Chains A and B, each alone.
Chain A
Amino acid sequence: MSRRAVRYWTARAALGWLALTAGQVVWFVLDRHDAGIAHIIGLAVTVLLAAAHLAVMPRWRFAVHRWETTADVVYAQSGWVNRERRLAPMSRIQTVDTQQGLFERAFRLTNVTVTTASARGPIRVHALDDAVAENLVAEITARAGAAEDDAT
């Protein structure tokens, strides 16, 4: 993972929480009933949850996420509360894609997705440095190309 991933995850989560808070504020302002206290409690809870989530999630996730390739295998570990480890043999790999959203581009991060012939279990390597992702794709493409049987 790139170290910038922590900032990226924080920013992305913060955006979601901001949207929620904004919605609550709008509701507060527009609400004609006298329920000010309920609104303020609601807002406070949101802010507390957001703070906890933003403090814990990105770092925890960064500690969990990792990936590795050898001559025969691609391996990736992801998640934070729920963890997942995925492996696929090089010989079974069908496609390698990279995706980069607008937001990810701002942080110069790229995701790599490796698929096999199974609809289940594409391997996703999140938030890599652009250059690292490029190398990874080149490496997997070269190795997977050598194999023949895709076990379909």
Chain B
Amino acid sequence: MTDTLDTATEVEWRKLSPKMLAVHPVQEVVRLLPVLVGVLFLGREGHGPTWSLIGLGLAVGFGLIRWFTTTYQVTPHHVRVRRGLVRRRVLSVPRDRVRSVDLTSHILQRVLGLSRVVIGTGRSDKHDEGVTLDALSVAEAARLREELLHQRTVAAEPATTDTAETSLAVLDRRWIRFGPFTLGGLAAVGFLAGIYGKVSSEVDLDPEKFGPLRAVVHEFNAIPLPLAIAASAVVFAVVIGLLSTIGYVVTFWNYRLTRHREGTLHVSRGLITSRSTTIEERRLRGVEVSESLLLRMVRGGRLLAITTGLRVGHGAEHGGSLLLPPAPLGEVQRVAREVYPDGAAVTCELTRHTPAARRRRHLRAYTFAAVVTGALLVLHALSGFPAWAWQVSLLLFPIGFALAEDRYRNLGHALRGRSFAVRQGSLVRRRHVLDTDGIIGVTVHESLFQRRSGLATLTVTTAAGKQHCDALDVGAQEAVDLADRAVPGLLTPFLR
């Protein structure tokens, strides 16, 4: 312990790049742009805009303070980040706990040659920024990554790294045809709607007062209802498809997956915001093949890494665990075999679940449909809710049937060699393949209804990825057998 403390005092504390001082204010201004537009051009009475400006000033000020107070240090054993003006915090991470290094730079940072560095460690705290350095110069960031993951303490010349890397996958232009099926456009529409909401709330914009928009609204009111619905559906689909394609290109342009000789996987991508993630390969506990319903229609899928130290969950694309963007299924499987030692488990046949599992899927779908229809029917009878509402909700029954059937067909599990594979889901079908060495616990959950039909949900927990992996509705005895085979000796004393 004493020697780490000694070295800590010897090694110099490094600062963030001073160029960040130029980027940060602009970044804050851009973020508050809708507000500023409202204030500058359409100023109104009242204190709302004033407060917005004060907020902006504070945000910029804090950014400047951050540069002066944030320092970091890499000692032979630890990475330390020191920050805070009033309340000083030193975050210290043992270097052997560093699992991944993630570099991102948005357009401004790219112009100035800056990179934001996020160092992923084994812990799974999602509500903490962890070890984030915003921002370093590109060369400095690359050097830090080399230092942390490839254990090179001496400054490495970036030019030589290329020879140590072998390319596993590169973006193929033909993959862009999967763009419309990714639904990334939905998020963009939501984002635009959000901006519109913000602007209009600041400046009191009313569509009725705005010439062209009013014309569209009036035109729209003139055509018959079914046609109007069909027309807006088509327009919506086209807009979403277009935005999704643009989103695909922007996010995945220059995509490249490489393997470094020192045992790391390296994903880089991005047209405007460039992002490059480096994952320690021996921490890769498995892979996930994820196919949304739309992607399945065109035989495409995505590949994600199940590894410790990367943020996952909502929008895993933003979390950097993405190994392959939406691409043909064959390509997904090829890359999966490349990166995961037991790649056969990605394609192998899965054991179907029992008919009881199928009954449960159907029963759940119909229960949901019946509850919704019933509620709307009651509302119609009691408070004069329009009748078409419950009539439309009758559609939930055939939709429920289709979904339930598909969900059942997609259920499956397999345990072969050192890999545990499970698949489930319909709207998004996911196949998780997990190395059994990464399993650190087993949970068998049985609800009352599951017990009655002799089923159970087997959850294996892991420190990687989403922290768990479920086999939904397997036979109760089968769940025990599976767990016993996945982690030999673990259950033998108990569950028999």
A interface residues (Cβ-Cβ under 8 A, vs B) = 68, 70, 72-73, 75, 81-89, 92, 116-121, 123, 150-152
Contact = CB atoms under 8 A, between A and B. Distances in A.
Given A72-B489, A118-B124, A121-B461, A88 B444 contact: no
B53 interface: no
A73 B493 CA distance: 9
B92 interface: no
B490 A121 contact: no
Nearest to B126: A119
B445 A84 contact: yes
Nearest to A114: B441
Contact of A86 (B437, B439, B441): B441
Given A68-B494, A73-B493, A151-B437, A84 B463 contact: no
Nearest to A83: B446
Contacts of B494: 68, 73, 75, 87
B493 A121 contact: no
Nearest to B99: A152
A72 B283 CA distance: 24
A82 B445 contact: yes
Interface string B467-485: 1100000000000000100
B495 interface: yes
A89 B490 CA distance: 7
B387 to A, nearest CB: 29
Nearest to B469: A120
A62 to B, nearest CB: 17
B20 interface: no
- Ranked nearest first, the 6 interchain pairs of A and B with the lowest CB-CB distance are A117-B463, A152-B122, A92-B440, A118-B461, A120-B468, A121-B461
Given A73-B490, A75-B494, A87-B491, A121 B446 contact: no
Given A118-B124, A121-B459, A152-B308, A85 B441 contact: no
A150 B283 CA distance: 12
A4 to B, nearest CB: 25
Contact of B447 (A72, A75, A82): A82
Contact of B448 (A72, A82, A120): A82
B60 interface: no
B438 A151 contact: yes
B441 A116 contact: yes
Nearest to A86: B443
Nearest to B464: A152
B440 A118 contact: yes
Contacts of A84: 443-446
B462 interface: yes
A41 B455 CA distance: 38
A92 B443 CA distance: 15
A88 B461 CA distance: 9
Given A68-B494, A87-B490, A87-B491, A120 B461 contact: yes
